[in-house]
Amino acid sequence: MKSKYSIFSLLRNSLSYHENWESQWRSPDPKPHYDVIIIGGGGQGLATAYYLAKEHGITNVAVLEKGWIGGGNTGRNTTIVRSNYLWDESAALYDHAVNLWENLSQELNYNVMFSPRGLLHLAHNVHDMQEIQRRGNSNYMNGVDAEMLTPAQVKGLVPFINLNCRYPVMGGVLQRRGGTARHDAVAWGYARGADACGVDIIQNCEVTGFDIQNGVVKGVQTTRGAITAGKVGVVTAGHAGVVAEMAGIRLPIESFPLQAFVSEPLKPIIDIVVMSNTIHAYISQSDKGELVFGGSGDPYVSYSQRGAFNQLEHVVGPVVELYPIFSRVRMMRQWGGITDVTLDRSPIISKSPVENLYFNVGWGTGGFKATPGAGNIFAASLAKGEMHPIAAPFSIDRHYSGALIDEAAAAAVAH
């Protein structure tokens, strides 16, 4: 049982110079058997384990992470949260997540710093205007908030924006419930919550193979020995294809690097997330004051997690055109993550040809925002052995039946 974080625990621990805080989760050795093994200790894997234990009473669960929890895309992403996707299936999926974000800090007793500061997509040409109007209408019909803005209204929200740049700003669509959250805290909060329910979080434990007998998964091989399991859930993002191949499955996924970078910390200057699909740049400001920048994915497949100068240039150019005020801001850090991209830019939340082996992958450049919702419905699917109704359309089968959920336009700039 974890002690509750509160003003009283803060005061109590301050009396001992903050030297006696209990560790947030245990570091147990792997047991020989678990009812459910989750491969991948990113936010989504940890959220799955948390909801398995909390909502379905399945506590004999291990999360196996080859590195450290949150060290994959969860700790590398630009933390944009929104649910204004085009198709009904996506709206249901991402809005389920936004609804959970709204109460997540209270649910986990952990401040995930969810900040629904509003998310603005800019439109720079007639096509963009048509796209945001179509999407905005679709959002409206799905109960997802969307407000169309004129250039003057955009200027009201971002007073220093240059509306008449190379690609003039013709309007925008605003989702006020969108925003950001603190990525590490999401992984840590779910880890602490899952651990408190009895889940074993095992870091530095890479899954290297599966034990499959007569088409049924019986366990996994790891760098810390073989472990048997009733069910296995794969939540390995950029390495989805690599892990699936160990089970003899070829996923319709390609892995591309996606880069991001932050500036030196500044005083508060932009209190909203602004995205531009056409010129491939988006920007927000972290609570530490850094401007957080991102753009499109690298144009080639790779497992590199590094930043590169060409991408920096590709994003900074349009940023400086849109926001000349930032032209002298110094960049501080740049990095990359490996995104698992499907051909319709929607995730695969699915059973697989191997019985009791489930996948929750293919989130590509936009799965952070889905973390609570995806974990919640994947846990329900694992617990019941039937895909949750929100997850069902995201089956791997859609790539064979043709029932794709094509979010490529709405997700073009990633996230």
Ligand X SMILES: Cc1cc2nc3c(=O)[nH]c(=O)nc-3n(C[C@H](O)[C@H](O)[C@H](O)COP(=O)(O)OP(=O)(O)OC[C@H]3O[C@@H](n4cnc5c(N)ncnc54)[C@H](O)[C@@H]3O)c2cc1C
**Taking the complex as a whole, how short is the minimal distance between the CB of residue 72 and ligand X, in angstroms?**
2
* 276 is a site residue for ligand X (CB under 6 A): no
* 73 is a site residue for ligand X (CB under 6 A): yes
- Pick the stretch among 38-46, 127-135, 195-203, 387-395 that binds ligand X (CB under 6 A): 38-46
370 Cβ contact partners less than 8 Å away, ≥ 6 residues apart:
44, 93, 94, 97, 347, 363
* 79 is a site residue for ligand X (CB under 6 A): yes
C-beta closer to ligand X: residue 19 or 29: 29
C-beta closer to ligand X: residue 125 or 204: 204
* 237 is a site residue for ligand X (CB under 6 A): yes
C-beta closer to ligand X: residue 41 or 172: 41
C-beta closer to ligand X: residue 191 or 328: 191
Q: How many residues bind ligand X (CB under 6 A)?
A: 41
Closest CA to 129 of 165, 173, 164: 173
Q: Please give the Cα distance from 233 to 375 (Å, whole number).
A: 11
Q: State which of residues 96, 369, 398, 399 lies at the interface with ligand X (CB under 6 A).
A: 369
* 121 is a site residue for ligand X (CB under 6 A): no
Q: State which of residues 38, 49, 77, 104 lies at the interface with ligand X (CB under 6 A).
A: 77
Interacting positions 330-349 with ligand X (CB under 6 A) = 337, 339
String of contacts with ligand X for each residue 144-183, x by CB under 6 A: ----------------------------------------
- Pick the stretch among 63-71, 157-165, 167-175, 383-391 that binds ligand X (CB under 6 A): 63-71
Interacting positions 193-222 with ligand X (CB under 6 A) = 206-207
Q: Which residues in this chain contact ligand X in the complex, by CB under 6 A? A: 39-45, 64-67, 71-74, 76-80, 206-207, 235-239, 243, 258-260, 294, 337, 339, 363, 365-369, 415
